[in-house]
Amino acid sequence: MTNNPQKPQEYHRDYRNLRDLLAAGKWKEADEETERVMLAVTKREKEGWLNIESIEKFPCEDLRTIDQLWVEYSNGRFGFSVQKEIFITCGGEPDYGEHPGNAIWTRFCNQVGWRTIEAPYHEEWLLYNNEFTFSISAPRGHLPGTSTYRISGGWHSLGGWLGVSSLAQRLIACNAISSPEINNDTQNVVVIEEEISLKSANGWDYRQLNNLLKSGKWRAADKDTAKIMLALAGRTRHGYLDNHDINNFPSEDLRIIDHLWVKYSNGRFGFSVQKQIYLNCGGKPDGKYPGDTIGYVTVWDKFGDQVGWRVNGKWLGSCWDSRVSLFNFDTLAPCGHLPFWVGFPGTYLGYGIELADWRWGGGLVSLLSRQDLLASTIP
């Protein structure tokens, strides 16, 4: 993918306006333009929505181009292919007209930020004009929203789930591009690319962590990250960090570790990514227990849902040995899934660190509250 996608042979519309809106970061206008061109391509302006047949026959080059523009100008954050991968990760099976089931659909909507957990009925689903987040800080996969929302009439009945599932199936049929996190096409992802020293003022050499992350050895990189942080804090023998250790952890070393995770995951993993998700969930960077309730769950539980550490209302496993096998050590894992730091008693050094106040992630909250840890925009 290039910065200026060439016009494909089967191009049915002029996408320069969509390109310019996305390049300017005008997300709402771009969303509305996406709906307009999709209806025009299928000649369904009068109906104002797409049916299954029109999705099944939607021209591949047009769908690929629309998706490519969204993925490119959001740095892999938005696009139909991004939504497709999240849908599959949540357990969905792309199909034309096949309902994925309420549990999968609800999980998907929670992940992309289309649903709140403040009420048990219709108030849960966001209203498009008033409640959608039209900015790069929106949850990954949040946009496009208009075209999906309008397919077969909205969220309810044959609404949003039909649009997501059917478009995902059409993308598969067209062999359309995947999101950057999946195909590892680093040329089209803008992440932190400035040079950074692999040796800190404390004398720690980060070449091993750099090489592990560069080669996609996520589990080994998690192990090395734990080893480094314990050593720098002088807590290798103890095997865990307390709040004092975290609050006094060297700023430069924290920045290097986070930088490497963000860089080699194309913005998918890292402490700064976790911090942004935590803030999006309503967390406050004050180091205190995030016990504020959002509907029926706490902020901490919502954070666990978002990063995939909590599934179907339960935290993964009850001890480290059983839990480590449940974690996803690859880029198909939810955004913010790694590094994994909420250790349990008996944590083995090398897979994570047992933090103080592990029952609610007190150690991680202290880390995410560091003022020198800037929240990532999650490319």
**Other beta carbons within 10 Å of 352:** 24
How confident is the model at residue 19, as a pLDDT? 92
The model's pTM: 0.50
How confident is the model at residue 98, as a pLDDT? 66
Tokens linked to 24: 């300017």
How confident is the model at residue 362, as a pLDDT? 57
Q: How far apart are CA 276 and CA 278, in angstroms?
A: 5
Is there a contact between 145 and 79 (Cβ–Cβ < 8 Å)? no
What is the overall mean pLDDT for the chain? 74
Residue ranges of the chain whose pLDDT lies below 50: 1-11, 119-123, 152-158, 176-194, 295, 318-324, 342-360, 379
Q: Backbone phi, then psi, for 120, in 5-degree steps? A: -85, -10
Q: How far apart are CA 146 and CA 201, in angstroms?
A: 50
How confident is the model at residue 148, as a pLDDT? 63
Q: Which amino acid is at 61?
A: E
Domain boundaries, given as residue ranges, for the chain? 15-177, 206-369
How confident is the model at residue 297, as a pLDDT? 66
Is there a contact between 180 and 265 (Cβ–Cβ < 8 Å)? no
How confident is the model at residue 277, as a pLDDT? 84
Tokens linked to 96: 């034309």
